[in-house]
Amino acid sequence: MSSSPENKSKIPERFTDLKTSKPKTNSAGFSSLKAVAGQVLKYMNATDALKLSFKMNQKGGFDCPGCAWPDPDDERSALGEYCENGIKAIAEEAQNKTIGVNFFASHSVEELANLSDFEIGKSGRLSEPMFLSEGATHYKPISWDDAFNKVAHHLNALNNPDEAVFYTSGRTTNEAAFLYQLFVREFGTANLPDCSNMCHEASGSALSETLGIGKGSVTLDDLYKAEVVMVIGQNPATNHPRMLTALEKCKKNGGKIIAVNPLPEAGLIRFTNPQNPIKVLTGGSKIADVFVPITINGDVAFIKALLLKLLEREELNTNVFDKDFIEEFTEGYDNFIADLKTYKFDECLKASGVSKVVFNRVFNLILNNNNIIVCWAMGLTQHENAVDNIRELVNLLLLKGSIGKEGAGTCPVRGHSNVQGDRTVGIWESAPQAFLDKIETKYGFKPTTKHGYSVIDAIKAMYEKKAKVFFGLGGNFISAVPDTAYSAQALANCNLTVHVSTKLNRSHLVTGKEALIFPCLGRSEKDYQKTGIQTQSVENSMGIVSSTRGVLEPCSDKLLSEVAVVCGIANATLQARSKIEWLKYKDDYNLVRDDIQEVVDGFNDYNKRLKNPSGFYLPNGARVRQFKTRTGKANFSINKLPNWKLKDDELIMMTIRSHDQFNTTIYGLSDRYRGIYNERRIIFMNREDMKIRNLEEQQIVNLKSKFNGVTRIANNFKVIGYDIPKNCCATYFPETNVLVPLDSFAHTAKTPASKSVKITVEAIV
């Protein structure tokens, strides 16, 4: 008998072989160079590896498929703008080993689901389209044409287009993403959930409302020139390693860095630039001038405490706030101040878990400087009050006039390499009317104005059988989403699940009645089409659009590009009823860009400007103090102090990334900077919390989360005593996604609250 969707979705609860060492305070340096070489040579031949490292993030080369950190506009190091984790990302993609008919004939879905995600990832690159028929135990090969027709058949059999869900992960390029949303809208729905819903959606919500643009306002140059950079809720040494070079440069220019994080993350404390041999020998530079060990979800309280003290000073001495800026460019100041006065400093500071001494050091830096940048990532966006976290930071910047000028502003550090670009070109379940109108004018069909499903809504719709076809352009839906067991049942309820992927992942194993795997080209591979090798484009975290072009031969001749897959499906599904000649786009991607420039603002002369080796900046109102909000000004906002409480036996858990993973892709089992080797089933706990519970180092525990009367369980974790605030704990994503309740998400943004999961820890007796 085959196992349940829940069982297939579950990461096996076995231990590997835990070793520990003291956590590191320094990041990168020699050990990073060693780790890079090890990872690359495991998978690739040396010639390919060299070719790649010279072309990655070089002008005219290909964009690293890792994070969305921008490349410097001018100088780039000779060896490629690379970092350890960028190289790992590319080594993972550019593997020589492929899997196809033989692999799937000899491994059933059931058997593959028993592997760990690390093992699944090691199997190799997908090399041909595969189909799992209803009730079958094994995937079988299928031709591309038959596969497209199958998708078309299922889509056309639906009662209405809203019964289909079209997910996107953030590696998809602008060209593929634009065509994909165009197809989805012409098909008749706006069900376009994307990984952004689980990532920076809260940033987008907060920033659009307060500053009129859902993106950050700063450039790399601003970071170099800032007087103070606050890095809050972010672990750059692991997730955006090249950011540390920018912070180092900022410090060299006299800037100060404040790091706000429950964990003393390695790179936040010290950093050794692996591209600087002298620094490698001398042990690197100090990064954080002040490290703030905040309690999990203590950020609104901490920022409020800062705001209150600033106000106190302002009332004594008139030069603390930038009153000219507030007067000319903002709205809502009086209401904001009136609300702020209802809070008490001591209560806020207490709720943040930060000591008075540390607070004062931060306060003095903020008080005495006016060019401030705030950088943040998932530590702020994955809470129920995530939107408030970001709006409260915006309040701080507005008071100081620290926006829209050199060395100042907002810097939400994006995750996937093109997640920002995908949204820009229309991957949005609630796209603005102006965008839909432009689609209508250009193509002559009327896109639905009804908002579609975001990730959480999509899961519920599939669970309730209101949605019956799931299509994923990239990503690993089942492992990325919260509430794994419920979500697995949601997918299993579908008639068809389809994934366009480079590598095998768990989402291929937790399927609807029928399932398809579409293997596609990766970033590093040459994209041959009728008019020659194609170039594509991406937008980084700072709104720069640049080209990307693969350098390696494709790992199989049966791969299609994402653009070709989208065109194939659109053509097969819509046929004569389409107003669009779909197949022409796959022959020549210049035509896609010609269309994008007509529909999306800021892309004029797209093809021409893409030839600029550094790419081009998209317009950004906040950067030039043009705030396109409802009031036409930058808006102050009123944010409540979150009022979550733990029961006596509860801890608040954040689910974070190790140093050896890219989201659900597990490169290795270690987390070197935190001193963890060969094991992912661990829970970092405060040593006092361990003592209260009589827990010893490496003791085995089960984790439980209770939410709205439902208990969720994840078994077998080893306890690690760690430098983490009391009542807080940390585990790795995706192992603990089973514990994240689907209904716990950010207000207005619906980002799952995967950084504030209330759990209890139970020793196995």
Ligand X SMILES: Nc1nc2c(c(=O)[nH]1)N[C@H]1C(S)=C(S)[C@@H](COP(=O)(O)OP(=O)(O)OC[C@H]3O[C@@H](n4cnc5c(=O)[nH]c(N)nc54)[C@H](O)[C@@H]3O)O[C@H]1N2
Q: Which residues bind to Mo ion, rule: CB under 5 A?
A: 199, 415
| Of 5 and 415, CB closest to Mo ion | 415
The half-sphere exposure of 602 on its side-chain side, counting CA atoms within 13 A, is: 15
Q: 3-state DSSP call for residue 728?
A: strand
Partner in contact with 733, chosen from ligand X, Mo ion, none, beta carbon below 5 to 8 Å by kind? ligand X
Q: Which does 36 bind (CB under 5 to 8 A by kind): Mo ion, ligand X, none?
A: none
Q: Which does 245 bind (CB under 5 to 8 A by kind): Mo ion, ligand X, none?
A: none
Tell me whether residue 326 or residue 570 sits nearer to ligand X (CB atom).
570
Residue closer to Mo ion by CB (options 284, 379) is 379
User: In angstroms, what is the minimal distance from the CB of 444 to ligand X?
Assistant: 29
321 binds, among ligand X, Mo ion, none (CB under 5 to 8 A by kind): none
Nearest-angstrom CA–CA distance, 58 and 53:
9
Q: Name the residue with tokens 């954080």.
A: 288
Q: Least separation, in Å, of the C-beta of 66 and ligand X?
A: 5
Q: If contact means CB under 5 to 8 A according to the sort of partner, which of Mo ion, ligand X, none does residue 664 touch? A: ligand X
Tokens of 439: 């689609």
Q: Considering only CA atoms, which of 230, 170, 176 is closest in space to residue 199? A: 170
Task: Tell me whether residue 214 or residue 415 sits nearer to ligand X (CB atom).
Answer: 415
Non-local CB neighbours of 271 within 8 Å, separated by 6+ positions: 26, 27, 28, 237, 244, 247, 248, 284, 285, 287
620-629 b/e (C-beta count within 10 Å ≥ 16 → b):
bbbbebebeb
Measured in whole angstroms, the distance separating CA 64 from the mean position of its chain's CA atoms is 15
Residue 479 CB, shortest distance to ligand X, in Å, is: 7
Q: Are 491 and 462 in contact (CB under 8 A)?
A: yes
Q: How far apart are CA 439 and CA 452, in angstroms?
A: 17
Asked if 340 and 310 count as a contact pair (C-beta separation under 8 A), the reply is: no
What is the smallest separation between the CB atom of 63 and ligand X, expressed in angstroms? 11
Three-state secondary-structure class, residue 19: strand
Largest CA distance in the chain: 76
Which residues, in sequence order, are CB contacts of 420 under 8 Å at separation 6+? 68, 170, 215, 414, 539, 540, 541, 543
**Residue nearest Mo ion, CB atom distance:** 415
Contact residues for 555 (Cβ-Cβ < 8 A; gap 6+): 94, 95, 96, 98, 125, 127, 525
Question: Do residues 378 and 654 lie in contact, with contact meaning Cβ atoms separated by under 8 Å?
Answer: no
| Closer CB to ligand X, 370 or 501, in the complex | 501
- Closest CB 756 distance from Mo ion, rounded Å: 17
Nearer of residues 267 and 415 to Mo ion, judged by Cβ: 415
Closest distance to ligand X from the beta carbon of 238 (Å)? 5
Helix H or strand E segment including 409? strand 409-412
* CB of 63 or CB of 322, closer to ligand X: 63
* Nearest residue (CB) to ligand X, 322 versus 671: 671
In terms of CB distance, is 199 or 490 closer to Mo ion?
199
Please report how close the Cβ of residue 761 comes to ligand X at its closest, in angstroms. Answer: 17
Coarse DSSP helix, strand, coil percentages of the chain, rounded to the nearest 5 percent: 40, 20, 40
Among ligand X, Mo ion, none, what does residue 652 contact (CB within 5–8 Å per kind)?
none
Q: Smallest distance from the beta carbon of 214 to Mo ion, in angstroms?
A: 15
CA distances for 369 relative to 97, 100, 402, angstroms: 54, 59, 9
Minimum separation from the CB atom of position 95 to ligand X (A): 12
CB of residue 745 vs ligand X: minimum separation in angstroms? 12
Toward ligand X, which CB reaches closer, 209 or 422?
A: 422
**Which of the listed partners (Mo ion, ligand X, none) does 657 bind, with a CB threshold of 5 to 8 Å by partner kind?**
ligand X
Per the listing, tokens 């979550």 go with: 644
95 contact choice in Mo ion, ligand X, none (CB below 5 to 8 Å, kind-dependent): none
Cβ closest to ligand X, residue 378 vs residue 600: 378
Q: Report the amino acid identity of residue 206.
A: A
Query: What does 294 bind: Mo ion, ligand X, none (CB cut-off 5 to 8 Å by kind)?
Result: ligand X
Q: To the nearest whole angstrom, how small is the minimum distance from the Cβ of residue 380 to ligand X?
A: 6
How far is Cα 62 from Cα 357, in angstroms, rounded to an integer? 46
521 or 596: whose CB is closer to ligand X? 521
Q: C-beta of 413: minimal distance to ligand X in Å?
A: 7
474 touches which of ligand X, Mo ion, none (CB within 5 to 8 A by kind)?
Answer: ligand X
User: Binding partner of residue 197 among ligand X, Mo ion, none, CB under 5 to 8 Å per kind?
Assistant: none
Residue 480 partner contact from ligand X, Mo ion, none using kind-dependent CB cut-offs of 5 to 8 Å? ligand X
Cβ within 8 Å of residue 510, ≥6 positions away: 5, 8, 9, 113, 478, 488, 491, 492
Sign (positive/negative) of CA torsion 7, 11, 13, 14?
Answer: positive
Distance, in Å, from the CA atom of 444 to the CA atom of 597, rounded to the nearest integer, reads: 17
- Please tell me what DSSP assigns to residue 72: P
> Among Mo ion, ligand X, none, what binds residue 520 when CB lies within 5 to 8 Å by partner kind?
ligand X
Closest CB to ligand X among residues 235, 511:
235
Contact residues for ligand X (CB under 6 A)? 65-67, 85, 169-171, 195, 198-199, 232-235, 238-240, 260-263, 265, 294, 296-297, 299, 377-379, 382, 415-416, 473-477, 480, 500-503, 505, 520, 522-523, 562, 654-657, 661-665, 733, 737, 740, 754-755
Return the one option of ligand X, Mo ion, none that residue 637 interacts with (CB less than 5 to 8 A, by type).
none
CB of 734 to Mo ion, least distance (A): 12
Alpha carbon distance 575, 583 (integer Å):
11
CB of 57 to ligand X, least distance (A): 14
Query: Cis omega (within 30 of 0) on the bond before 734?
Result: yes
With 0-12 / 13-18 / 19 or more C-beta atoms within 10 angstroms meaning exposed / middle / buried, residue 25 is middle
Nearest residue (CB) to Mo ion, 199 versus 459: 199
